Amino acid sequence: MATAVLKAHYDGEHIVLDEPFKLATNASLLVTVVAPDAERSAWANLASEGLARAYGPDEPEYSASDLKPQ
Q: What is the pLDDT of residues 12-44, one digit of tens each?
A: 999 999 999 999 999 999 998 887 777 778 888
Residue partners of 43: CB distance under 8 A and separation at least 6:
35
Domain annotation covers residue 46: yes
Q: Is residue 57 over pLDDT 90?
A: no
Domain annotation covers residue 21: no
Q: How far apart are CA 69 and CA 10, in angstroms?
A: 52
Q: Could you give the count of Cα atoms lying within 13 Å of 50 in the half-sphere of its Cβ?
A: 6
Q: How far apart are CA 64 and CA 18, in angstroms?
A: 45
Domain annotation covers residue 11: no
Domain annotation covers residue 37: yes
Find the length of the chain.
Answer: 70
Instruction: Give me the domain span that covers residue 37.
Output: 31-57
Q: How far apart are CA 53 and CA 4, in angstroms?
A: 38
In the chain, the number of structural domains is: 1
The model's pTM is 0.47
